[in-house]
Structure 1
């Protein structure tokens, strides 16, 4: 296959924005009145640990009025701009630490940039016990362009995965199979520390251990700097990291009833300018359940009825090892190298008993189906990051190079036994089939991002990104000949697929502020070249396209901690690889699946309006959103009379509209009781046609979460999570509502070095998936329920007092929020 690489793009683009940058900034500054800048770095006294989220405020010496302020960044750095010449004093404040005052601070024409240097803050020993009780961060924090889910606040997720964390989060729903939807859509991009995941969507989130996660960012309207992929936005999982001097780390292990095991560790060693880390995780989990199916197929002469019930076992497993090193060439220049590798596996065993008959009545048919699906893969990732910071925090260059190689294989086996009414399979020779798949994939990514201030309040971001994906898949389908005891290839279901995609992107954003108003405009351009070669048919499917994706973010900051935000973005949802495979896949005795290589991307227009009001650690947040999807990728079920089978496929057939409101409150009633609740009413409408039949469905639905935390003692917590999901519609039917409740108890021991968490999931056994599909000549009703009341014990041990810094230090001053850009 000919590769259409644009080799010169990075060089040309870099020259465009790097070489003239200095002159652009200089010219802009000449048009602005004299303004000063105050910078510094906040550290914890005695440990030299950078203190993020520290409130830094600057006051006029003349009348003690507040002139400006900010919060410190991840390395403790802060910068306050737009200061008129004059005499000031600076106050730094952090929950649990003694307030620090720097006085005087003189900003003059001859001293426009004042560097306060290293500011050390000491622990307030008199209030430390109270801080350990009340200084936990909010479960969900709202920022200008994202929600941040603080994993440490959800003890019900202990021993679980990222999907379990998101189960209790506004905007997100998780069904009994672990499938995650973001605002009703299963199409979103999963990033790990800002880098792509080997697995996609829900599969990726179910492999990441919750105990290794610092927080999760939910970005429903990303700026032009981010990839536009995903109908609903981006879920960025931020893993734990440490920069303390010396050796520290954390080890977690959990065990649950009915074969559920998980363990992970992270070790960090920092010495001088070098930082080394090593981590790994292991999981092996079994999720049994039951399923019932009722199905009626309509023909001119009779109706055929199928009634089936059975059991299933979901399996998920994985092993990963990762390591890396970073070196600080100076305080403004850092190189980081990382590598990770491992394997993953998932599968399902099914055993179903089926009764088939017709109306008017004919002879009854009874049969037993046993199937096994196993998929496994291996991967190796390499990442290099370089960051260069110039004369201010907002002036920097970052580059990232990423390479991934993954291989995988899978096997699906099916045995069908024709039996009598008692479903006895002894002495019955089954009809046996199997499908064997292999795949080999390479991914590469290059990013160059440049940011610099423009004038007193503006900020320009420009960047170039390249994404390459090359994948080959082969599928072999065989049927067992009972007479010769030989597997015979079925060429109709056997084929190979070669997939190649090259995306070249450039973006620019410009943001600034005027009084209490902040804004950011962005535009991203992407060139996409995609080619699919189908081995059996010899057909090629080509896309060669240029797209543009505008973004807009606005924010108004009012008095008394009120904030209003408005954002818009255009996005794209590119078809998943398995949707594009034209191969015929055997699903069960009455169903086959066929991909569609001619499938085109969806395009999404998303608009959001948000409001926040804070009272210290308490806050109220509300969001209104509207999303319109054109060229909607629709999963279609049809009955094929000639094959006498159901056919599952995907087509671009519809448009949809989704509008709703998200209301969330976080309230600390007393030191021992915190309640976090959300409710999301929403309207959904889908219209289009399926094979010439007009489709128009609409529904008004809602979902809610209620998390209650009881701080029994400074080291003992009890937490309950309750959720409800109402009935929703699909293109061909409905999905019924359900509710569930989880309970967890956590005890910290040995000066918080050891934590033990006991968790019970789905207390009342009410979590299920109940859906109905209706077509021109059929009706289906399926109910699935997974194992309820799962009890899990998780132990966590901290080496050298490893701590999750945000949990220990709290919200960092709480009420002051000076923005900080987009």
Structure 2
């Protein structure tokens, strides 16, 4: 209770400080005269489709001189700041639409925040007969606190998943197993429409169909309004949504060579103030590949060498059904209820041939290993969202309640056959074992967020969040006795674990303007209670602590669409549940894993400096970043002579430093050619101590992406995507570089109601995973490659001209809009 009181007092003190600071700074002076703000939203009349890049100009009524202007963002919103008090008229213009004039508009001390509301623009029928307009959006939009990946512009991701979309995106790398890293880290938070995902990280991104995604927000330095979880930040997936009257929807289906199938649908029906939606998806994909392993173990008298070669089939599958209803009580009050449920599955079937020998020479050992790993589960989640808007879009109250349950089972069956050099397994009795892990997890959240304008240009945000996670895991390991033909439990690898965590959080942010600068300050306080109870340990592992997470965002807008931004945030990376299991877990015939219930969270300090320059649809963006992780959770590989096994441990051992730059350019050279390229050089250093040995490794690496789109006809596109990832180091070794190329061709048919996309992934078969681990008495080298030249055909059918326009949802908590940006 004392900690809760301290947290509440801290937040209250922060609120009072920010408000008082704003009131003091709002006193006018000669260098900073009081000025007003003009806001609104532009849409197409009838369809309510937002109109991006609409020109908004403000003229004085007295002499029609231009005093301000801007262009609308992808949601159709605009904001013009620093308007002197006076009487004006506003003109909106967009090619193919009739000009709209709003007259008069009064900006006064008593009315210094003028919201023009919804501005509907009618299609100019004469213009539309003369020219066909195809509205393209940039592949990546840069905002002050996020990057927004527009999925509709990436035809290479058709028929794929969210992970496939991110494969072509700055800051993100995806390996051949679908593992996603954000700025070199696999630790990030995945949200879906601003709400938590039942699955975590790469697993969640691999299950979300790209065709159901509106856009993806990449937030590497979130404000205090967001959860601080994740070393590298947040990936927020915004799903498609429609609000037009009547029935509309979209159906997608894709099929690829070697058993790759995916389908999804989304239907919406709007009746008056009610909106009903229903969606579902199915996927079943097989990815064959090959793996080679070379391993040397050094002892005092001999060196033992293992050479293994084999094939594997990697499988992913899943189904989901979701539905919901929203009701507009008024233009400013909406309640949405949603529910979803489904199942997921993935696994690997392996078959390896291994040869072991020693130097000096002794008897050679040959054997065949066959293993089948399956992980399956089912889940459901329920959530309710309420939004109340007051006198302006910046004055809003939102509330969210979320509950989910997932039940899963993971099985691993292994058979080893001792053979001769010919690897024949006939009449050989295998050594058989299997492990079964079951888990039952519950998560509940409640969030309340409030924002309101303060003074002429300030904005205050407050919020509270409660998070409860409860998880039970049972791990069973068995060995098969061929004499009795029964499975016998091995108690050494069998155990139960109970995990409980309660997080209570509150935050406050305050943003505003000072001369030519825009700023936002924030702080988040979190009280964490974590308890781990393991049946084989007499200890109960507790964490009971209070943490603070400050954030800072600054922006400087220059003339001619130049913008400079600086941000800082402190974040936390909490240990995953399976990292905390203290029992031994079987991995393969050579390896076991031991968790650590005493693991503590990592703490990350992140600093970014960004620059943007825009020329309409063309832009240049550059970012410099630095990230320092303290109390770094480190995976350590050791060789145990007594067990003749490799042991994977995990400890809080090290600190690391990451620094780099991200350069990106989007340029439309001609109507038929658009190029989007990025280049990311970065430096990484890790310092620490592994098994009493000081460790200091550093590397300079780089990566690049090049996306080229050819608009052959108004309904025909060809797109290529090329990427390179250079060599990099790890705590105990290195990973070799690799490159790949994808090609896609899209044809729209029947007045764009039907689209067909043909794509080839990894055209040159060059994508692979090649890594080396080196320890005190061992060396490992593993190369993994997956099926090349994957050919897929995707069909998409739109019901009642369903279009991929952006919605109004702010996802994971909205964005800081300081007036400007792209």
1:77 to 1:560, Cα distance in 2 relative to 1, 3 A: closer
Partner of 2:290: 290
Partner of 2:645: 645
Secondary structure in 1 matching 2:763: coil
Secondary structure in 2 matching 1:164: helix
Secondary structure in 1 matching 2:207: coil
1:371 to 1:19, Cα distance in 2 relative to 1, 3 A: closer
1:602 to 1:39, Cα distance in 2 relative to 1, 3 A: closer
Equivalent residues in 2 for 1:497-512, closer than 5 Å: 497-512=497-512
Partner of 2:814: none
Aligned counterparts of 1:727 and 1:186: Cα–Cα separation in 2 = 17
Give the drift of 1:120. Answer: 2.4
1:566 to 1:249, Cα distance in 2 relative to 1, 3 A: same
Matched, 1:422 2:443: no
Partner of 2:439: 439
1:134 to 1:65, Cα distance in 2 relative to 1, 3 A: farther
Secondary structure in 1 matching 2:141: strand
- Whether contact under 8 Å (1:394, 1:453) holds in the other structure is yes
Aligned counterparts of 1:5 and 1:763: Cα–Cα separation in 2 = 61
Spell out, residue by residue over 1:54-111, the C-alpha distance to the aligned partner (whole angstroms, 9 max, x if none).
4433222345444345666888666656544322110223354333222333445787
Give the drift of 1:763. Answer: 0.4
Give the drift of 1:50. Answer: 5.3
Matched, 1:60 2:60: yes
Task: Select between 39-48 and 274-283 the one with higher mean Cα deviation.
Answer: 39-48
Partner of 1:812: none
Secondary structure in 2 matching 1:203: helix
Partner of 1:814: none
Partner of 1:449: 449
1:202 to 1:581, Cα distance in 2 relative to 1, 3 A: same
Give the drift of 1:189. Answer: 0.4
Matched, 1:360 2:356: no
1:460 to 1:293, Cα distance in 2 relative to 1, 3 A: same
1:5 to 1:380, Cα distance in 2 relative to 1, 3 A: farther
1:257 to 1:466, Cα distance in 2 relative to 1, 3 A: same
Partner of 1:271: 271
Give the drift of 1:135. Answer: 2.9
- Whether contact under 8 Å (1:722, 1:742) holds in the other structure is yes
Count of matched residue pairs: 809
Partner of 2:573: 573
Partner of 1:539: 539
Partner of 1:149: 149
Secondary structure in 2 matching 1:202: helix
Aligned counterparts of 2:385 and 2:760: Cα–Cα separation in 1 = 41
Spell out, residue by residue over 1:256-311, the C-alpha distance to the aligned partner (whole angstroms, 9 max, x if none).
00000000000001111111100000000001000000000000000000000000
- Whether contact under 8 Å (2:573, 2:603) holds in the other structure is yes
Aligned counterparts of 2:821 and 2:500: Cα–Cα separation in 1 = 37
1:17 to 1:695, Cα distance in 2 relative to 1, 3 A: closer
Secondary structure in 2 matching 1:206: helix
Spell out, residue by residue over 1:311-352, the C-alpha distance to the aligned partner (whole angstroms, 9 max, x if none).
001100010000011111111111111100000001100000
Partner of 1:382: 382
1:482 to 1:803, Cα distance in 2 relative to 1, 3 A: same
Partner of 2:86: 86
Partner of 1:262: 262
Aligned counterparts of 1:254 and 1:498: Cα–Cα separation in 2 = 41
Secondary structure in 2 matching 1:643: coil
- Whether contact under 8 Å (1:220, 1:232) holds in the other structure is yes
Equivalent residues in 2 for 1:596-675, closer than 5 Å: 596-675=596-675
Aligned counterparts of 1:530 and 1:480: Cα–Cα separation in 2 = 38
Partner of 2:810: none
Secondary structure in 2 matching 1:211: helix
Give the drift of 1:147. Answer: 0.4
Secondary structure in 2 matching 1:163: helix
Spell out, residue by residue over 1:216-240, the C-alpha distance to the aligned partner (whole angstroms, 9 max, x if none).
0000000000011111100000000
Secondary structure in 1 matching 2:460: strand
- Whether contact under 8 Å (1:134, 1:671) holds in the other structure is no
Partner of 1:402: 402
Q: What stretches of structure 2 of length at least 5 have no aligned partner? A: 808-816
1:759 to 1:653, Cα distance in 2 relative to 1, 3 A: same
1:18 to 1:452, Cα distance in 2 relative to 1, 3 A: farther
**TM-score under structure 2 normalisation?**
0.94
Spell out, residue by residue over 1:415-435, the C-alpha distance to the aligned partner (whole angstroms, 9 max, x if none).
011111111111100010011
Spell out, residue by residue over 1:631-653, the C-alpha distance to the aligned partner (whole angstroms, 9 max, x if none).
11111111011111001121111
Secondary structure in 2 matching 1:705: strand
Partner of 1:232: 232
Give the drift of 1:537. Answer: 2.5
Give the drift of 1:477. Answer: 0.6
1:15 to 1:178, Cα distance in 2 relative to 1, 3 A: closer
- Whether contact under 8 Å (1:133, 1:711) holds in the other structure is no
Partner of 2:196: 196
Spell out, residue by residue over 1:668-715, the C-alpha distance to the aligned partner (whole angstroms, 9 max, x if none).
010000000001011111111101011111111100000000000000
1:415 to 1:110, Cα distance in 2 relative to 1, 3 A: closer
Give the drift of 1:558. Answer: 0.5
Aligned counterparts of 2:125 and 2:48: Cα–Cα separation in 1 = 18
Spell out, residue by residue over 1:747-788, the C-alpha distance to the aligned partner (whole angstroms, 9 max, x if none).
000000000000000000000000000000000000000000
Give the drift of 1:540. Answer: 1.4
What is the alpha-carbon root mean square deviation over aligned residues? 2.8
Aligned counterparts of 2:110 and 2:152: Cα–Cα separation in 1 = 47
Matched, 1:587 2:587: yes
- Whether contact under 8 Å (1:95, 1:135) holds in the other structure is no
Matched, 1:769 2:769: yes
Give the drift of 1:581. Answer: 1.2
- Whether contact under 8 Å (1:218, 1:234) holds in the other structure is yes
1:682 to 1:74, Cα distance in 2 relative to 1, 3 A: closer
Aligned counterparts of 2:731 and 2:424: Cα–Cα separation in 1 = 39
Aligned counterparts of 1:232 and 1:217: Cα–Cα separation in 2 = 13
Matched, 1:486 2:482: no
Aligned counterparts of 2:76 and 2:147: Cα–Cα separation in 1 = 22
1:662 to 1:692, Cα distance in 2 relative to 1, 3 A: same
